[in-house]
Amino acid sequence: MHSNKLHIGELEELILLLIMMLQEDAYGLAIRKNLHEKANRKVTIGAVHGTLNRLEKKGFTTSEYSGATEIRGGRRKRVFSITAAGKKVLMASQDVKVNLWKQIPEMALK
């Protein structure tokens, strides 16, 4: 048991954010590239797809296969999008942290 719907892991959070950001371009390799460039997070493609599968299993994302493109090797992509539940958990996650930051005494920030 204990498939906790109230919180998400660290990589899960970053990937949900990138899915919202990338929209129709949210598929494995593109997510991995942005994880590296925008989040300074260097992970292998296996790590990305593992997390993507977990998120879908939890109901935080859905996915569908696009058609193949005309560029060389351009086979169909599995494109992910975030669900309402995913949005909710992602926003709650950020809210908690923003609130905690506000409660840190000034003097501790230096």
Partner DNA sequence: TATATTTGTTATACTAAGTAGAACAAATGC
Partner DNA sequence: GCATTTGTTCTACTTAGTATAACAAATATA
Residue 1 makes contact with a copy of itself by CB under 8 A = no
Binding to a copy of itself by residue 104, rule CB under 8 A? Answer: yes
Which letter, b or e, does each residue of 8-19 get, where b requires 16 or more Cβ atoms within 10 Å of its Cβ? beebbbbbbbbb
Instruction: Count the residues of the shown chain that bind DNA, applying the rule CB under 7 A.
Output: 36
**Two tokens at 56?**
């879908």
- Token pair for residue 85? 């539940």
The answer to whether 53 contacts a copy of itself (rule: CB under 8 A) is no
The amino acid at 12: E
Give the side-chain half-sphere CA count within 13 A for 20. 13
Q: Which residues bind DNA (CB under 7 A)?
A: 1-4, 7, 9-12, 27-30, 41-47, 49-51, 53-54, 68-78
Q: Which residues bind a copy of itself (CB under 8 A)?
A: 6-10, 13-14, 17-18, 20-21, 23, 38-41, 92, 94, 96-97, 99-101, 103-105, 108-109
